[in-house]
């Protein structure tokens, strides 16, 4: 019988892109304070355009060059620090808070999230999800980045559950579904975020849904005798 849900955060409960854009706005504001001739909105728009064109890899270098500023290692490091430490302006996808509240009536819930602990803790605070679940575990605090199963095993220990009683819910097959396989849990893939259209690869889930708000009726089908 399913008693426990181990839930991913980024792109499962909210749109991670909104976090990235929030960080870009913080960096743009910082640059505009340093250089009043620069337009804050234009800087943020330039970062978003570079993200869409080439990903996050050299976003700050490119925008600094466009602004006529030298992309020194020291300045890049400072801007990365601003990005990581900013207080994000983000929100859960519609219906997610109500879905978590409903699930909490029948299951024990843990959020298991990957990424720099400072950034993930800022996200958890901004989204207000700590009050909606029993536990929040930051994988990097446990030196166990996904798909390392250690943080999931710690979540099971805290929630007094065995792997066979738990379901891992997430968007990234290479992280969430791979970790579920390593731990021995069942898994549900949520088809949202940047991995939404990608295949399952080596880690097919036991079931999948279009969004997190569809989780509750699906869980009954994962019980013994159900039809996934």
From the centroid of its chain, how far is CA 15?
8
Average pLDDT for 67-82:
96
Domains in the chain, CATH or no CATH each: 4-15+91-222 (3.40.50.1000), 17-85 (1.10.150)
Distance CA 125, CA 213 (A): 21
pLDDT the model gives residue 228: 43
Contact between residue 21 and residue 48 where contact means Cβ atoms under 8 Å apart: yes
Average pLDDT for 59-81:
95
**Nearest in space to 181 (alpha carbons), one of 206, 144, 216:** 206
Arithmetic mean of pLDDT over the chain: 95
pTM over 0.85: yes
Average pLDDT for 144-173:
97
Average pLDDT for 6-21:
98
Rounded to a whole number of angstroms, the CA Rg of the chain reads 19
Q: Which two tokens stand for residue 43?
A: 């800087």
């Amino acid at each position: 019988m399913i008693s426990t849900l181990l839930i991913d955060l980024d792109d499962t409960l909210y749109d991670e892109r909104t976090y990235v854009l929030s960080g870009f706005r913080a960096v743009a504001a910082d640059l505009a304070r340093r250089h009043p001739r620069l337009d804050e909105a234009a800087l943020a728009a330039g970062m978003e355009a570079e993200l869409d064109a080439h990903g996050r890899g050299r976003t700050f270098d490119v925008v600094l060059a466009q602004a006529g500023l030298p992309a020194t290692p020291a300045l890049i490091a400072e801007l990365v620090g601003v990005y990581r430490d900013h207080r994000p302006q983000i929100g859960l996808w519609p219906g997610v808070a109500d879905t978590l509240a409903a699930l909490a009536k029948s299951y024990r819930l843990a959020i298991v999230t990957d990424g720099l602990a400072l950034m993930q803790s800022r996200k958890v605070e901004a989204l207000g999800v700590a009050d909606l679940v029993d536990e929040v575990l930051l994988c990097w605090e446990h030196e166990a980045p996904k798909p390392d199963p250690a943080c999931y095993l710690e979540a099971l220990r805290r929630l007094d559950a065995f792997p066979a009683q738990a379901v891992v819910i997430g968007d990234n097959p290479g992280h969430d579904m791979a970790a579920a396989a390593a731990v021995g849990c069942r898994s549900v893939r949520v088809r949202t975020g940047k991995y939404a259209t990608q295949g399952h690869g080596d880690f097919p889930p036991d079931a999948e849904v279009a969004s997190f708000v569809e989780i509750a009726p699906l869980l009954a089908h994962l019980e013994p005798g159900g039809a996934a």
